[in-house]
């Protein structure tokens, strides 16, 4: 270690990583400590402009311990998952030299240095939108950049997996497969990119963030209960998913929306069936989730082929995938007919790509109030104001990136503490 003024310097790296939504679900671990799944899974990576984590990692000889802040509040780094990722990245750290600052760190010195990590999610952390996938992918990616780790994306995905299973898929953009692997040490349980975000860029993703008063079962404990008690989980992992993964890969490759949508909906429904098959049963979806499924199913059935796909993770939020802008605008009109905004404020009711509202002809609350009842749904013409908190309109996006603009770093380069603390 050497520097112009020994002990006075702070060296930093900042990265940004997207979140991802599984279309073939990960549910169940065969190894709890290494986070090894019972089946392969496939996801789409969302546009980081709308849903991502940004993380700055700083190192300085003046830091007495490792510390982390999430969305401005200090959190403990002592959990096994953060510790596994820190240990695995530190093991692979290389020499680093910053000529401008006169800093040189030899690879053997990384073990003696402590880090400060500040992370910020550009979407609500507690809304059930896979924030830990984006967060742990960003943690691993950015630590790897600071420590000049040379390992490829596959290896990084395997480290991110040990922080949060689905984080391994956020190491890539576009369409991603997490291969369950066979080895007991988890070395082959890695993510691979099936296609990048440009491969099928017409897809539009609308997320309905559903209001929930219910305390949800965490994915970790829900999965454990399912593995221990659900006979359907075993059947799903051994018999259903292997074939479904092959069909999904083919649907993605050939951009076959009909097949993609049928597989996505069927897999979401089977995942929630496994939750119901768990003892005691787990209910992640609520009445609003069920109403959204019903709306989409009735529309799809009335058209003969799927117009939109739905998928639900371990919570009530609906992720709706349309093949193009036209179907997305029709979907939005149907959704807003049943779920108008509570406070009549249309612009804060749509987050992300807000232009979908004007594309759907919805410029004001009066436009929403004038929407006709969807003909095919035959649902009672009751409306459910307030049952959706807000919508997010997004698209497929790229994998983690280094943020080169130093003004966007979350840590002050002089104090080594999060900005504003
Ligand atoms: N959990 C949720 N969001 C996170 C983040 N940005 N970094 C680390 N862990 C997280």
Query: Which two tokens mark 127?
Result: 């809304």
Cα–ligand 1 centroid distance for 132 (angstroms): 5
Specify the residue with its C-alpha closest to ligand 1, atom 4.
135
Predicted confidence at residue 97, as pLDDT, reads: 96
Cα–ligand 1 centroid distance for 170 (angstroms): 13
* Whether residue 131 has its Cβ less than 6 Å from ligand 1: yes
Query: Which two tokens mark 160?
Result: 């991110």
Nearest-angstrom CA–CA distance, 402 and 29: 31
In terms of phi and psi (left: phi > 0; alpha: psi -120 to 50; beta: otherwise), the region of 34 is alpha
Q: Show the DSSP H helices in 343-407 as ranges.
A: 355-359, 365-369
Specify the residue with its C-alpha closest to ligand 1, atom 5.
135
Q: Mind listing the pLDDT tens digit of every residue in the chain (421 residues)?
A: 555 456 689 999 999 999 999 999 999 999 999 999 999 999 999 999 999 999 999 999 999 999 999 999 999 999 999 999 999 999 999 999 999 889 999 999 999 999 999 999 998 887 788 899 999 999 999 999 999 999 999 999 999 999 999 999 999 999 999 999 999 999 999 999 999 999 999 999 999 999 777 667 899 999 999 999 999 999 999 999 999 999 999 999 999 999 999 999 999 999 999 999 999 999 999 999 999 999 999 999 999 999 999 999 999 999 999 999 999 999 999 999 999 999 989 999 999 999 999 999 999 999 999 999 998 876 667 899 999 999 999 999 999 999 999 999 999 999 999 997 7
Q: Which of 52, 70, 418 to mutate to test the pocket of ligand 1 (most atoms within 8 A of CB)?
A: 70
Nearest-angstrom CA–CA distance, 194 and 174: 8
Cα–ligand 1 centroid distance for 34 (angstroms): 19
* Whether residue 23 has its Cβ less than 6 Å from ligand 1: no
Contact assessment for residue 17 and residue 48, using Cβ atoms and an 8 Å cutoff: yes
Cα–ligand 1 centroid distance for 75 (angstroms): 10
* Whether residue 51 has its Cβ less than 6 Å from ligand 1: no
* Whether residue 53 has its Cβ less than 6 Å from ligand 1: yes
Specify the residue with its C-alpha closest to ligand 1, atom 9.
135
Nearest-angstrom CA–CA distance, 137 and 15: 10
In terms of phi and psi (left: phi > 0; alpha: psi -120 to 50; beta: otherwise), the region of 7 is left
Contact assessment for residue 148 and residue 129, using Cβ atoms and an 8 Å cutoff: no
Cα–ligand 1 centroid distance for 119 (angstroms): 7
The ipTM, to two decimals, is: 0.95
For residue 58, list its beta bridge partners: 12, 116
* Whether residue 245 has its Cβ less than 6 Å from ligand 1: no
Specify the residue with its C-alpha closest to ligand 1, atom 8.
135
Query: Which two tokens mark 302?
Result: 């009335």
Atom of ligand 1 nearest to the CA of 55: 6
Cα–ligand 1 centroid distance for 178 (angstroms): 20
Nearest-angstrom CA–CA distance, 25 and 394: 20
Cα–ligand 1 centroid distance for 136 (angstroms): 6
Nearest-angstrom CA–CA distance, 158 and 183: 12
* Residue 29 backbone phi and psi in degrees, to 5: -110, 145
Predicted confidence at residue 378, as pLDDT, reads: 66
Q: Which of 48, 121, 218 to mutate to test the pocket of ligand 1 (most atoms within 8 A of CB)?
A: 121
* Whether residue 123 has its Cβ less than 6 Å from ligand 1: no
Cα–ligand 1 centroid distance for 72 (angstroms): 12
* Residue 372 backbone phi and psi in degrees, to 5: -80, 155
DSSP of 318-369 = EEEEESSHHHHHHHHHHHHHHS--TTS-SGGGEEE-THHHHHTT--SHHHHH
Cα–ligand 1 centroid distance for 47 (angstroms): 17
Cα–ligand 1 centroid distance for 135 (angstroms): 4
Specify the residue with its C-alpha closest to ligand 1, atom 7.
135
Predicted confidence at residue 2, as pLDDT, reads: 53
Cα–ligand 1 centroid distance for 277 (angstroms): 30
Task: Tell how far CA 59 is from the center of its chain.
Answer: 27
Please provide the size of the chain in residues.
421
Burial class (CB in 10 A: 0-12, 13-18, 19+), 159: buried
In angstroms, the Cα distances linking 353 to 321, 391, 394 are 14, 10, 6
Specify the residue with its C-alpha closest to ligand 1, atom 1.
132
Domains in the chain and their CATH numbers? Answer: 11-196+403-408 (3.30.230.10), 204-394 (3.30.70.890)
């Amino acid at each position: 270690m050497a520097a112009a003024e020994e002990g006075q310097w702070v060296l930093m790296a900042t990265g940004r990583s997207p979140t991802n939504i599984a279309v073939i679900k990960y549910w169940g671990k065969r190894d709890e400590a290494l986070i090894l799944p019972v089946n392969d899974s496939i996801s789409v990576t969302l546009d980081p402009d709308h849903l991502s984590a940004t993380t700055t990692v700083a190192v300085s000889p003046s830091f007495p311990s490792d510390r982390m802040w999430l969305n401005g509040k200090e959190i403990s780094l002592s959990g096994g998952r953060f510790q596994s990722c820190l240990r695995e990245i530190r093991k692979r750290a290389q020499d680093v030299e910053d000529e401008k600052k006169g800093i040189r760190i030899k690879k053997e010195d990384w073990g003696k240095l402590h880090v400060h990590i500040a992370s910020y999610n550009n979407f609500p952390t507690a809304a059930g939108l896979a924030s830990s996938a984006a967060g742990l992918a960003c943690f691993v990616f950015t630590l790897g950049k600071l420590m000049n780790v040379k390992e490829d994306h596959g290896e990084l995905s395997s480290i991110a997996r040990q922080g949060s299973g689905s984080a391994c898929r956020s190491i890539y953009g576009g369409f991603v497969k997490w291969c369950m692997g066979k080895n007991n040490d988890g070395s082959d349980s890695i993510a691979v990119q099936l296609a990048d975000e440009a491969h099928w860029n017409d897809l539009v993703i609308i997320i309905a963030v559903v209001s929930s008063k219910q305390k949800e079962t965490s994915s970790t404990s829900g999965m454990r209960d399912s593995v221990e008690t659900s006979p359907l989980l075993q059947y799903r992992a051994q018999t259903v998913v292997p074939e479904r993964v092959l069909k999904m890969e083919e649907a993605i490759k050939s951009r076959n929306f009909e097949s993609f949508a049928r597989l996505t909906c069927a897999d979401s429904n089977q995942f929630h069936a496994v939750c119901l098959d768990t003892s005691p049963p787990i209910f992640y979806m609520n009445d609003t989730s069920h109403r959204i499924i019903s709306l989409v199913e009735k529309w799809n059935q009335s058209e003969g082929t799927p117009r939109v796909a739905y998928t639900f993770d371990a919570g009530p939020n609906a992720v709706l995938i349309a093949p193009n802008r036209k179907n997305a605008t029709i979907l939005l009109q149907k959704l807003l007919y049943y779920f108008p905004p509570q406070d009549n404020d249309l612009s804060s009711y749509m987050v992300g790509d807000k232009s979908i509202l004007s594309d759907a002809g919805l410029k004001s609350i009066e436009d929403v109030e004038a929407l006709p009842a969807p003909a095919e749904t035959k649902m009672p013409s009751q409306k459910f104001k307030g049952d959706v908190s807000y919508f997010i309109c997004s698209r497929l996006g790229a994998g983690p990136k280094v943020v080169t603009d130093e003004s966007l770093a979350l840590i002050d380069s002089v104090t080594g503490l999060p900005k504003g603390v």
